[in-house]
Amino acid sequence: MNLATNASYAARPSSAWTGWGQWIALITMTLDHVARYLATDAWHMGWIDSSVGRIAFPLFAGMVAWHGLFNTRDPLRYARRVMVIGLLAQLPYQLMPREAIFQLNICFTLALGLMAGHWLEQLTRRQDGGELGYPRLALETLGIALAWYFAGFWVEYGHQGLLLVPFFMLAIGQLHRADDDIPSRLLAVAGCLPLLAVAGLMNSSDMAKSVTVATVLLVLLLAAGASRLVRAPSVTMPRKMWLAWYPAHFAVIAAILLWNGNAQIL
């Protein structure tokens, strides 16, 4: 998506809030993984999984959708970069104890979701311009649906997780483009409903559902205009740290699990 030639996105919203989002996402994700894979019952950390641990994924998904809409000229290239991080993290991630014998980590969920979200954005523009016939639309939709169905069995957070980024892009885009008239605002609210429904279905406990939905609502509030009130954090996360933390922290956890004999070995 070429933002320079897109009048709808001429006035991009402030992305200063994502500086805070990076710190919060990495901290909550790390706490969740330590509690899930390393902590024993004596640590009394089980509460983390259903509370602060549920912040990370919707926050990551919201930031990926935000950057895919406003801060990159090539969302597909951005998705490929996320997938490279996922490839680097996959081996240590696979050593984490879990019920599934094989599962692709969250970077694949985010990257595939971004690809689907980009398709939705492009579809809207092609339909507005009358550039897409119904036979081709049907074929593309069928291909995306089949890819979602099969990929959902292999990625972390499954079918619902794959929907989070594209529904975030749909909702954020509608909120950003909304005018002051009532029909436009109602359309923007309607665009948020699929996202909120998926967020509410993603977890089993009421606590986890509440935290996930609250995180999603916070990102939507930022998209509705609150982002202009947020200043960037005084300590910016180094780019290398942001890119390396996900595979690196799994490598450390995997090393500890191997040392303790608790790693999942195929």
Is position 1 within any domain? no
Is position 128 within any domain? yes
Amino acid at 236: T
Cα 191 to Cα 238: distance, rounded to the nearest angstrom? 34
Is position 8 within any domain? no
Is position 110 within any domain? yes
State pTM to two decimals.
Answer: 0.91
Furthest-apart CA atoms within the chain: distance in Å: 62
Q: What angle do CA 101, 107, 108 make, to 5 degrees?
A: 65
Cα 112 to Cα 182: distance, rounded to the nearest angstrom? 34
Smallest CA-to-CA distance from 165 within 247, 75, 72 is with 75
pLDDT tens string 48-90: 988 999 999 999 999 999 999 999 999 999 999 999 999 999 9
Query: In this structure, what token pair is assigned to residue 38?
Result: 């390393």
Q: How many domains does the chain have?
A: 1
pLDDT tens string 203-235: 888 999 999 999 999 999 999 989 999 999 999
pLDDT tens string 120-164: 888 776 655 455 556 777 888 899 999 999 999 999 999 999 999
For tokens 């975030």, the residue is: 168
> What does residue 104 show for φ and ψ, rounded to 5 degrees?
-85, 140
Is position 196 within any domain? yes
Is position 266 within any domain? no
Q: Residues 102, 108, 113, 118: is their CA dihedral positive or negative?
A: negative
Half-sphere exposure of 231 (CA within 13 A, CB side): 3
Is position 2 within any domain? no
Query: Domain range spanning residue 43?
Result: 14-260
Query: In this structure, what token pair is assigned to residue 99?
Result: 């019920």
